[in-house]
A and B are shown apart, each in its own frame.
Chain A
Amino acid sequence: MKIHEYQAKEIFSHYNIPVTKEVLCYSVGEVRAATEKLGLPVVVKAQVLTGGRGKAGGVKLARTLEDAKNAASQILGMDIKGYLVEKVLVAQGVKFSSEYYVGLTIDRNIKTVLFMVSSEGGVEIEEVAKDNPKAILKFPIDPDLSMTPFLARKIAFALFNDFSLVKQATVLFQKLYQIFLDTDASLVEINPLVLTDEGNLLALDGKMNFDDNALFRQKDINALLEPTEEEVKELEAKEKGLTYIRLEGSIGCMVNGAGLAMATMDMIKYYGGSPANFLDIGGSSNPQKVIDAMNLLLSDKNVKVVMINIFGGITRCDDVAHGLVAALDTIKVDIPIVVRLSGTNSKEGLEILKSANLPVVETMAEAAQMAISLC
């Protein structure tokens, strides 16, 4: 789950991490008022749940009130990578001499939180990773040791020579680690962390992503969720026990298992077709699930054919077949359906479907090719 820059910085503030003085605004009028309150110069920043805001022209420095208002009217309503800008953050301009990168994420290989710092701040960290990987210093954090002061200090000394900055950074790093744990984050980034002319470390930007698996125990974080229209659909599907992600193609897929669902999409593409979605219906042959899944697929006008790919392990194919027949008795389907059932009781399952006049095949490859031919 992602949140906006302004929300990440609110969380940082809550932990007394210095951030820029800033005001969230929804209109040019509010931007004017905010600019007058904060004083010039200000930076007007699009608040959208995607990166690349600067490149898209969504972040503008304004030295006059007119500039601020113009920036606001340009940025509000802008489309950045498919996200509509509905609000901007007006931040007080800060004079600074250096920019740093600080980030925390989970390292899957070391299996701990990874603390990263770099003196190459203010640029895309992926670029630094590519062009100058040695510039990113990485510190795995032993969960038993945690971000104990000496470790925070060690990292601070790796980034700063000036002891007053080392002291500030030590405190800051400990707080960031605490935030990561407290909120079940999957990513916490400050890029750039700047050294102001007054000699203070300040977060000019902030980013936080959260572990979806932990949202059940993070009610406050969960409340910040701002789903797109598509994500709303995905969440509704989730409540019905379905994992659904819409794509742009014409072959609707219904599969049991995430890996198999991905492989099904891949196979459709391999044979020259285009998958309309990822849909994992999980391990149940419950007719209601099949009905819900079918309705979901049919609500996408791009879907011309439905391909059902079920490998029955514990789930029995005859149960799935019964579920499918019951589903089709309940809802009207005008487009072709291709069914592939394999695994436990597949013979029985296929018989049930044949007597319901559904095109059935035994292999995934046949199903994909048949679906494509019916498109």
Chain B
Amino acid sequence: MSIIVNKNTKLIVQGITGRDGSFHAGKMKEYGTNVVGGVSPGKGGQKVEGIPVFNTVEEAVKATGANTSIIFVPAPLAADAILEASEAGIELVVAISEGIPTLDMVKVTTYLKKNGTKLIGSNCPGLISPDESLVGILPANIFLKGNVGLMSRSGTLTYEMVNQLTTSGLGQSTCVGIGGDPVAGLYYQELLQLFQEDPETKAIVLIGEIGGDAEEHAAQYIKENITKPVVAFIAGQSAPPDKRMGHAGAIISSGSGTAEEKIKAFENVGVPVARTPGEIPELLKKLMNIK
């Protein structure tokens, strides 16, 4: 799906001098993503993996024409880093950082919306269009270029799903990790629409989990707007109530946000829900009329 990341993506890495930032900057560059710079206040002038480091996003954008940023900044400072990117004219921000306070994300999503900046995450592994661009920490080696679009709140569960698809010969057009936080950027509805409009994508896999009601809204959106086949998986059927299951957004509160409700919502609109990750390829093949 070339709308979000593609060969025109010019990426800067905020937090590039940290352990994760430097490691993944190298990985993304290796994959062929056009990593044009990094930002780390006070470290301007240095180089990481051959990538020039700048003091501010504004400097980086002026020098490189960057249009995308990935955030590896620690949680207490991450929201500020996202705001800085948006203010400097970055078009897409991918926020990997986990642990950002929710009210910070409220401020961020409001500002970015007003500025017209797209956001993916926070607390996400990023996204990949196989053989085109990797903006994130997803392990490139498990992906295969193909026609299935994925969107997921999870990290390694997504990789598990992708692995199932790849080994069944079902390649992926774009895989987007939307993250595990309660307030985040692009979510199911926006991505469903983008996949619907993407000529490369023939079917969609949606991976959800307990907490909130985004899956229920997505089910309604699919009913009204999506004609391409969709298959879902919902994690957390065995989760106890009122407990945060790792992800900040994965919590059943006051009895709502359960996996059962979400599964029912999808089944009610004709979206099959796999009971185990292994069922996904079969369900897809059936819907896509592949043997």
Stretch at the interface among A68-76, A210-218, A286-294, A352-360: A210-218
User: In this assembly, does A134 line the interface, its C-beta being within 8 Å of a C-beta of chain B?
Assistant: no
Chain B residues numbered 156-189 whose CB sits less than 8 Å from any CB in chain A: 156-160, 163, 180, 182-183
Residues A261 and B249 in contact in the complex (CB < 8 Å), given A213-B100, A266-B238:
no
Chain B residues numbered 116-151 whose CB sits less than 8 Å from any CB in chain A: 125, 137-139, 141-142
B235 and A108 contacting across the interface, CB-CB below 8 Å: no
- Neighbouring B residues of A212 by C-beta, 8 Å: 244, 248
Closest residue on chain A to residue B212 by CB atoms? A108
A112 and B110 contacting across the interface, CB-CB below 8 Å: yes
Q: Return B91 CB to nearest CB of chain A, in Å.
A: 19
- Neighbouring A residues of B160 by C-beta, 8 Å: 260, 263, 311, 342, 364
User: In this assembly, does B56 line the interface, its C-beta being within 8 Å of a C-beta of chain A?
Assistant: no
- Neighbouring A residues of B138 by C-beta, 8 Å: 313
A313 and B159 contacting across the interface, CB-CB below 8 Å: yes
- Neighbouring B residues of A181 by C-beta, 8 Å: 103
Q: Return B53 CB to nearest CB of chain A, in Å.
A: 22
Residues A314 and B139 in contact in the complex (CB < 8 Å), given A245-B243, A261-B246, A278-B245:
yes
Q: Return B44 CB to nearest CB of chain A, in Å.
A: 27
Considering residues A142, A214, A266, A365, which has the most beta carbons from chain B within 10 angstroms of its beta carbon? A266
Q: Could you mark each residue 257-273 of chain A with 1 if its beta carbon is under 8 Å from any beta carbon of chain B, else 0?
A: 11111110111111000
User: In this assembly, does B285 line the interface, its C-beta being within 8 Å of a C-beta of chain A?
Assistant: no
- Neighbouring A residues of B207 by C-beta, 8 Å: 259
- Neighbouring A residues of B212 by C-beta, 8 Å: 108-109
Partner of A186, one of B102, B250, B278: B102
A311 and B101 contacting across the interface, CB-CB below 8 Å: no
Partner of B103, one of A126, A144, A211, A259: A211
B156 and A311 contacting across the interface, CB-CB below 8 Å: yes
User: In this assembly, does B88 line the interface, its C-beta being within 8 Å of a C-beta of chain A?
Assistant: no
A243 and B278 contacting across the interface, CB-CB below 8 Å: no
- Neighbouring B residues of A217 by C-beta, 8 Å: 76, 101
A106 and B106 contacting across the interface, CB-CB below 8 Å: yes
Residues A262 and B236 in contact in the complex (CB < 8 Å), given A144-B110, A313-B139:
yes
Bound-state Cα–Cα, A259 to B234, Å: 9
B213 and A109 contacting across the interface, CB-CB below 8 Å: yes
- Neighbouring A residues of B75 by C-beta, 8 Å: 213, 216
Q: Return B142 CB to nearest CB of chain A, in Å.
A: 7
A259 and B152 contacting across the interface, CB-CB below 8 Å: yes
User: In this assembly, does A233 line the interface, its C-beta being within 8 Å of a C-beta of chain B?
Assistant: no
Q: Could you mark each residue 238-276 of chain A with 1 if its beta carbon is under 8 Å from any beta carbon of chain B, else 0?
A: 000001010100000001111111110111111000010
Q: Could you mark each residue 238-267 of chain B with 1 if its beta carbon is under 8 Å from any beta carbon of chain A, else 0?
A: 111001111111100011100100000000
Closest residue on chain B to residue A106 by CB atoms? B102
Considering residues B155, B158, B236, B239, which has the most beta carbons from chain A within 10 angstroms of its beta carbon? B155
User: In this assembly, does A280 line the interface, its C-beta being within 8 Å of a C-beta of chain B?
Assistant: yes
Bound-state Cα–Cα, A144 to B107, Å: 8
User: In this assembly, does B99 line the interface, its C-beta being within 8 Å of a C-beta of chain A?
Assistant: yes
User: In this assembly, does B275 line the interface, its C-beta being within 8 Å of a C-beta of chain A?
Assistant: yes
Q: Return A249 CB to nearest CB of chain B, in Å.
A: 9
A213 and B110 contacting across the interface, CB-CB below 8 Å: no
B141 and A344 contacting across the interface, CB-CB below 8 Å: yes
B101 and A214 contacting across the interface, CB-CB below 8 Å: yes
A126 and B255 contacting across the interface, CB-CB below 8 Å: yes
Q: Return A50 CB to nearest CB of chain B, in Å.
A: 9
Closest residue on chain A to residue B181 by CB atoms? A213
- Neighbouring B residues of A261 by C-beta, 8 Å: 245-246
B236 and A266 contacting across the interface, CB-CB below 8 Å: yes
Chain A residues numbered 53-68 whose CB sits less than 8 Å from any CB in chain B: none
Closest residue on chain B to residue A214 by CB atoms? B101
Residues A257 and B101 in contact in the complex (CB < 8 Å), given A314-B139, A343-B139:
no
Partner of B214, one of A108, A112, A213, A266: A108
A259 and B101 contacting across the interface, CB-CB below 8 Å: no
User: In this assembly, does A363 line the interface, its C-beta being within 8 Å of a C-beta of chain B?
Assistant: yes
- Neighbouring B residues of A8 by C-beta, 8 Å: none
User: In this assembly, does A95 line the interface, its C-beta being within 8 Å of a C-beta of chain B?
Assistant: no
User: In this assembly, does A111 line the interface, its C-beta being within 8 Å of a C-beta of chain B?
Assistant: yes
Q: Return B118 CB to nearest CB of chain A, in Å.
A: 14
Bound-state Cα–Cα, A308 to B176, Å: 26
Residues A270 and B157 in contact in the complex (CB < 8 Å), given A213-B75, A311-B163:
no
Partner of A245, one of B99, B104, B139, B245: B245
Residues A280 and B101 in contact in the complex (CB < 8 Å), given A262-B235, A311-B163:
no
Residues A263 and B157 in contact in the complex (CB < 8 Å), given A278-B245, A311-B163, A313-B138:
yes
Interface residues in chain B, defined as those with a beta carbon under 8 Å from any beta carbon in chain A: 23-24, 27, 75-76, 99-107, 109-110, 114, 125, 137-139, 141-142, 152-160, 163, 180, 182-183, 207, 209-210, 212-214, 217, 233, 235-240, 243-250, 254-256, 259, 275-278
Q: Give me the 10 closest cross-chain CB pairs, A-B, nearest first.
A: A259-B154, A258-B246, A257-B156, A259-B157, A313-B139, A214-B101, A262-B235, A260-B156, A260-B157, A111-B109
12 other contacts beyond A109-B213, A258-B250, with CB at 8 A cut-off? A108-B182, A113-B106, A212-B248, A247-B240, A259-B207, A259-B235, A263-B157, A280-B246, A313-B155, A313-B156, A314-B23, A344-B142
Q: List 20 A-B contacts (CB under 8 A).
A: A106-B106, A109-B213, A111-B110, A184-B102, A184-B103, A214-B101, A217-B76, A257-B155, A258-B155, A262-B236, A262-B246, A266-B237, A270-B276, A311-B159, A311-B160, A314-B139, A342-B160, A342-B163, A343-B142, A364-B276
